[in-house]
Structure 1
Amino acid sequence: MKTLNSTAFRSVTIILLLLIFSFSPVFSFAFQQENQKNYTEYKGMVVNSDNDDPIASALISVNRSNISTITNAAGEFVLKVPDSLVPVTVNVSYLGFTSKNLPLSYFKENNRVELMESVEKLSEVNIFDAKNARSLVQKMLAQKDDNYITEQTLMTAFYREIIKRRRTNVSLSEAVVKIYKTPHNSRKKDLVSIYKARKSTDYDRLDTLALKLRGGPFNSLYLDLIKYTEYVLKPQMLETYEFSFDDPTKIDDRYIYVVNFEEMDKSTPWYYGQLFIDAESLTLVRAKYKMDVDDRDLATRMFVKKKPAGSKVYPVDLYYEVDYAEKDGKWHFSYGNATMEYVVNWKKKIFNSRYTVNSEMVVTDWEKYSDSEWKKNVDIIDPYVVMADDVSGFYDTEFWGNNNIIEPEKSIQNAIEKIKRNMNKE
């Protein structure tokens, strides 16, 4: 049984690194600007009303549509709304906070949204019926057909991949992708096509070490625990986990069970984390989990594809997060984030090098889809794609057109501006 779990590591967490002495060619510009501007862009920031702290990964969604985005680590967001939709209202929500519905016109004069923490004391005795955490997870998995979209869908998503050497950005890849999302009860894998993409890599800051992430958007997509339960929450393997209740919470007006889980067998790298389950419908609305990789030798064999002689490379921290969004009583995959920290030790160097790899994707729009011709008219990317090798370079400020993206943090924006300045000098 543990062998199956190890196989899941290699194929799903998709954190295979290619560590090789190689250099990418100078990037080219392969995409054209969308000239027709039939949308309006709104910017804002979401903060905690008690202390003004930014709220990262807050969901910003346009009511009566499938359009959404999320806030970045600084709580900032940019939302592009087609002019044909206005007037509409926008919902701002985050787990543990009271959500807000605001008219779109609010953002013309205000760019700040304050959310209040849900301070109501939740009573497990009066509100929650579940007494056994394992049984609750079993029921959650058994009710997937009732709670999640069962039709195939065509999703538009924004993907960002960042590699940092300590605190310095050394590689950045971004893409708007189209996802052919198969039903969660289908054995067919999801398919991805790149619609727009750009990248840059500063190999001078990589110590001549070209660190590359394999898997691209699939890193985030395969975190969908409802679609890919065989990797973490396979029903037949629930007996290999310990489950317990943590303090309950709220999202919008929904009461949420918080279930801790941890693998029992710790002879190999093992999963542990939290599941957030809606108390009424037993829907998994969020999961946050990590992998213990204290066994460096085994973790290296699982996650490092290739490395140069004279070096030792191993992961020291692996963190994953997945969110689901609801529309008309049905939930769908909304956001996935994988953050991984690696250490590189060299034989003839006193100090090691530390790299952080972040891969995140947010679904910004989706529609039910039944036309199989889509797969014949686009280029489907391989699940082992290396984005830094397979996409082109940076373009102008209107590059994304009317596509919603995750607002860049300041460090990312500064890196992009530096790239553009260097390009202008050339």
Structure 2
Amino acid sequence: MQLNKPFSLLWKALSSLLFAMLILTLVGTAKAFAFQEGTVDFDQYSGEVVDESTNKPLVFATLTVEGTNISTITNTEGNFLLKVPKNSNSTNVIVSFLGYRTQSVPLSELEPEKNKISLAVSVTQLSEININAPRDAMALVKETMAKRDENYFGDPTLMTAFYRETIKRRRRNVSLAEAVVNIYKTPYSSNRDDAVELYKARKSTDYSKLDTVALKLQGGPYNTLYVDVMKYPEYLFANESISNYKFSFDRSIRVNDALIYVIKFAQHENIMDPLYQGELYIDVEKRTLTSAIFSLNITDRDKAAQLFVRRKPAKVDVWPTEVAYRVNYREKDGKWYYGYSSVSMEFKVNWADKWFNSVYSMTAEMAITDWEKNNSGDLPKNRERIKKSIIMGDEAIGFTDADFWGEYNIIEPEKSIESAIRKIQRQLRRDERSSD
């Protein structure tokens, strides 16, 4: 297979960092172990963030404790869980969502549970758009990428992040893994890669729902970390490949009184290799990328399969039907930093001796929940870092301790995930009893 040079670079980057792996089912059942944590002094608040007019949940809305770097994000049902240290001097929570007016909510007005925060749509004046609109969408994207060193964090930063990956067979959750990790974020101007250190992790897997193969995601938190396109532009818009895309203005929105242009991009029709299509959200005045949502254009399923499938049984054909990415950035003191990213993949598994396909979906997401300046600038030693080949489901144990996460902010589990955990635990207990 012959690939053009720009795509060859992308192929090499993706195939070494982001792919799924099929292996034979492990013998036996997963074991669950409890972790014990000490008592932590914090206040906990949960609830939902919704659209003020429609009452629909706002997915991936950000909640930040004012004056701190503590934050969390709403899940796919608009629910949130926020933990605030009792010794914090903060009095407000800042709630923001793309295209909506940011709201400041006093902590004193929040209840421990069932809070409902409504955000109003931010309206943009058409006259303002016509006056200030740049003429060349690609030029705006290139200028934004060129101003990376100026607009994004220039100091080494130690971030605390929550990571979750979910594997489903059709609509049933069959494998869940979660972790708290430390990210040693290097400056955006630096060519050094970020390093990730695993603090603690947990999992639950029901192998009985996985047919005769177990689908595993290799790369763990790195799958989401490398979606930070401002730190790693070579995985999306390398200098050699940006000309393979066409860019166009789509619409504009307002975020915190800043005018944001939505730039659509897609590969040119004559480019046959699988590249990307999606939307870039750019602050026009500051030339900063605030968010990006994009997906792989699967024009050739065999080429796409080579990108993501590392290993599979001989009589099984596996290919991706959808691969989607999202990254959100946050602003602090005039500088922007990586705040959240996700990767969603759907695969079809075709057995040579079966009439029907199996459909699996895998989702990985990571949210920065706290950060501080890494004054020393040191990175952890190689033996302390998690490897880019990590399979989180193999590293993690235990969903049994309700206080496992202590004071750490996590993304509130969806109801389907909570239900899946209970079902998987019951299945594992039945299997253990039957094997005794």
What TM-score bracket applies, with the shorter chain setting the length? over 0.9
Q: What is the alpha-carbon distance in structure 2 between the residues aligned to residue 302 and residue 423 of structure 1?
A: 34
Contact kept, 8 Å, 1:15 with 1:303, in 2: the verdict is yes
SS in 2 for 1:230: helix
Cα drift, residue 234 of structure 1: 2.2
CA distance in structure 1 between the partners assigned to 2:373 and 2:28 by the alignment? 39
TM-score by structure 1 length? 0.94
Contact 1:294–1:316 (Cα < 8 Å) also in 2: no
Q: Secondary structure at the match of 1:154?
A: strand
Residue 97 of structure 1, aligned match among 78, 95, 100 = 100
For residue 162 of structure 1, the aligned residue among 160, 166, 175 is 166
Distance across 2 between alignment mates of 1:236 and 1:299: 20
1:405 paired residue among 399, 406, 410: 410
Partner of 2:225: 221
Further displaced range: 347-356 or 412-421: 412-421
Aligned residues of 1:68 and 1:363 also touching (Cα < 8 A): yes
Aligned to 2:309: 304
1:146 and 2:143 equivalent? Answer: no
Deviations 1:365-389 (Å, cap 9, x if unpaired)? Answer: 1111033566149721111111111
Deviation, 1:275, is 0.5
1:117 partner letter? V
Q: Secondary structure at the match of 1:5?
A: helix
TM-score (norm 2): 0.92
Secondary structure class of the residue paired with 1:416? helix
Note closer, same or farther for the CA distance 1:193–1:27 as it changes in structure 2 (3 Å cut): farther
1:263 deviation in Å? 2.0
Q: Which moved more, 1:313-322 or 1:200-209?
A: 200-209
Could you list the structure 1 runs, at least 4 aligned residues long, displaced by more than 6 angstroms after superposition: none
The answer (yes or no) to whether the contact 1:31–1:196 under 8 Å persists in 2 is no
Deviation per CA, 1:225-278: give whole Å up to 9, x if none. 100011112245332221110111111211101111112253111211111001
Structure 1 residue 196: Cα displacement: 1.2
Query: SS where residue 224 of structure 1 aligns?
Result: coil
Kindly provide the amino acid, as one letter, of the partner of residue 204 in structure 2.
S
Q: Does 1:237 align with 2:245?
A: no
| Matching of residue 3 in structure 1 with residue 8 in structure 2 | no
Deviates more, 1:386-395 or 1:24-33: 24-33
Who is 2:127 aligned against? 123
Alpha-carbon distance in 2 for matches of 1:123, 1:389: 56
- 2:277 aligns with 272
Measured against aligned partners, the alpha-carbon deviations of 1:74-109 in whole angstroms (never above 9, x if no partner) come to 100000011111442111111111111011122127
Counterparts of 2:367 and 2:384, CA distance in 1:
21
Counterpart code for 2:330: A
SS in 1 for 2:310: strand
Residue 375 of structure 1 corresponds to 380
Instruction: Identify which of 30, 41, 44 aligns with 2:44.
Output: 41
Tell me the SS of whatever aligns to 2:401: coil
Q: What's 2:265 paired with?
A: 261
1:423 and 1:346, CA in 2 relative to 1: closer, same or farther beyond 3 A?
closer
Residues in 1 aligned to 2:76 and 2:106: alpha-carbon distance in whole angstroms = 24
Partner of 2:21: 18
**Residue-pair matches, total:** 426
Shift of 1:187: 1.5
Compute the displacement of 1:17 (Å). 1.8
* CA distance in 2: counterparts of 1:360 and 1:3, whole angstroms: 31
- Which of 75, 79, 98 pairs up with 1:76? 79
| Structure 2 unmatched ranges of 5 or more | none
Q: Which runs of 5+ in 1 are unaligned?
A: none
Contact 2:162–2:409 (CA<8 Å) still a contact in 1?
yes
Equivalent residue number for residue 58 of structure 2: 55
| Residue of structure 2 in register with 1:247 after alignment | 251
Deviations 1:301-330 (A, max 9, x none): 121111112211000111100000001110
**Secondary structure of residue in 1 paired with 2:296:** strand
Q: Over aligned residues, Cα RMSD in angstroms?
A: 2.1
> CA 1:309–1:391 in structure 2 vs 1: closer, same or farther (change >3 Å)?
same
Report percent identity of matched pairs: 45
Report the equivalent of 1:295: 300
Please tell me whether residue 358 in structure 1 is matched to residue 363 in structure 2: yes
- Asked whether the 8 Å contact 1:147–1:331 carries over to 2, the reply is yes
Structure 1 residue 419: deviation in Å?
4.0
Distance in 2 of aligned mates of 1:26 and 1:311: 23
Tell me whether 384-393 or 70-79 shows the greater mean CA deviation: 384-393
Shift of 1:15: 3.6
Of 325-334 and 197-206, deviating more is: 197-206
1:211 is aligned to 2:223: no
- Opposite residue 361 of structure 2, the aligned amino acid is T
Paired with 1:379 and 1:167, the residues of 2 have a C-alpha distance of: 36
